[in-house]
Amino acid sequence: MSFSWKEFDLYNPTPEHGMLRETVRAFTEAEVEPQAHEYDRKEEFNLPLFRKLGELGLLGITVPEEYGGSGLDATAAVIVHEELSASDPGFCLAYLAHSMLAVNNLAVNGGEEQKKKYLPRLCSGEWVGSMAMSEPAVGTDVLGMQTTAVKKGDDWVINGRKMWITNGTIDEKRTPCDFIWVYAKTGEKNGRPQLSTFVVEKTAPGFAVGQKIHDKLGMRASNTAELVFQDCHTPLNNLVGHEGDSVLHMMRNLELERLTLAAMSLGIARRSLEIMNRYSQERESFGKPLSHFGQIQTYIANSYAEYKAARAYVYETARRMDLNKEGNRADSDGVKLVATTMAKNVADRAIQVLGGYGYVGEYVVERLWRDAKLLEIGGGTIEAHQKNITRDLAKQPELIQR
């Protein structure tokens, strides 16, 4: 069978991917863009708009069709996150927390009864999901978490607090989301903490939203909250897998999480580049367009090259990703390491090109710049990625030549 490179499009490898991009881009322009500035300033999550993503089949994009999902691949997930983030990264972060951290986690790691019970409601948008791992004093060091779960009768009883939880609440009244994917310590084994995974519904006794986090630098259109578990009861069958399986669950899902966070960076960078390119041709200084001047050319050209390089890396990593197993951590760390800093830098240059106009909300880039910073922190810090990649290359030097 012959193969021509002209037949292959890395960014839209099939007609289905191309149609998905057109659909999400049209939805973003018509529905997401008009509300982005308002909801950022109000620091509110647009729940009605979020539910429309369910109508489009996007809330369970990687979930098998038998559970109400769309059954698509990692490339499809990247397309959606890139397109939404070109308009409203905060709204997209809420989408990521639901569709990747909660829904995909359940689809890959959950038991059959758990998937049948919860996935249809999560995929439709009837329910909103979140994932609770970070704690007030624990972030990257997940083995240091203090939240515990112990068996008592027919329930698991969970005690502890989770912090920085996207979608932890869905409104200003601190109404909790419907479904929480919770990691907790269930003891020790061979001197190491044993972490286990639980499903907690919002009606679980002993569960409540603590504080909603206000005054964030960016991502203000997604709600962030503290979750409190005080003798919280969840049924025994809400344990996911077996005791001690959490690290496996985390690793299976972490690669897709980091890939889609990198995809969000692509949307931020593309929009920033479009804005500064257009402005540099429309605005004149000393009788000439700004694009005539060497420093402006440096900003635009470097941004374009860095964006294109990162985009190719993200989509190539997506092409090779198997959603049902781990095995590509070096590159899922790598794309997030490269793309997140790239997006922040491109947004920063866009502000510089626009000058005073770049510093106000009307021209969008100040919001993109604020939102971009979170991507260097959430889902693993850039320092954690540097550590992971270095360790992986020491064990697998052949990755360099692959």
Whether 257 is a known active-site residue: answer yes
Closest Cα partner for 60 from 126, 119, 118? 119
Reading phi first (left if > 0) and then psi (alpha if -120 to 50, else beta), residue 164 is in: left
Token pair 């919001």 in the structure block, residue: 367
Q: What count of Cα atoms within 13 Å lies in the side-chain half-sphere of residue 258?
A: 30
Distances (CA, A) of 295 to 298, 302, 339, 355: 5, 11, 23, 13
Report CA-CA distances (Å) from 385 to 120, 292, 336, 340, 391.
34, 39, 8, 11, 10
Task: Looking at 61-195, list the stretches that DSSP marks H as alpha helix, in order from N- to C-terminal side.
Answer: 74-85, 89-96, 105-109, 112-124
Provide DSSP, 348-370: HHHHHHHGGGGGSGGGSHHHHHH
Beta strands, E only, 252-400: 284-285, 288-289
Catalytic residue selected from 255, 257, 306, 376:
257
| Distance in angstroms (rounded) separating the CA atoms of residues 310 and 342 | 8
Assign residue 181 a region (left: φ > 0; alpha: ψ between -120 and 50; beta: otherwise): beta
How far is the C-alpha of 175 from the C-alpha of 384, rounded, in Å?
33
Distance of CA 114 to the CA centre of its chain: 23
What are the phi and psi torsion angles at 282 (to 5°)?
-85, -35
Residue 13 CA to residue 335 CA, distance in Å, equals 19
Phi (first) and psi of residue 226, to 5 degrees:
-90, 135
- Positions annotated as catalytic residues are 257
